[in-house]
Structure 1
Amino acid sequence: ILPLELIDKCIGSKIWIIMDDDKEFIGKLIGFDDFVNMILEDVTEIDPKDESDEKDK
């Protein structure tokens, strides 16, 4: 299975994204583009450097 096919199969699912700056996002994947920019809903942003700072977006 190709990476973009895997992402496409995850549409509608809850996913966990870990960024290069160690921020993390958990939310429902509703779409993505050719550059793999992702569109999420019901997102929670987590900064593991400050575990007390959890923000709902």
Structure 2
Amino acid sequence: MEKEFTPDGYNIGMNCGKVAGQSVMHFHCHIIPRYQGNMKNPKGGIRHCVEGKGTY
């Protein structure tokens, strides 16, 4: 990912265990490349990787 997409940063997200929201009990990890200016306010990390999807 580093060589092909050259992101400025990353968000890494996992839900580990039923109490944490995991619904299928296997390893599942999201690695999301982030770029300077791709979000107005990236505060909140993984919840705000997609515009309008972080408030729930």
TM score, norm. by length of structure 1: 0.24
Higher relative contact order (CA 8 A, sep 6+): 2
Choose between structure 1 and 2: higher helix proportion: 2
Choose between structure 1 and 2: higher strand proportion: 1
TM score, norm. by length of structure 2: 0.24
- Answer with 1 or 2: which has the greater Rg: 2
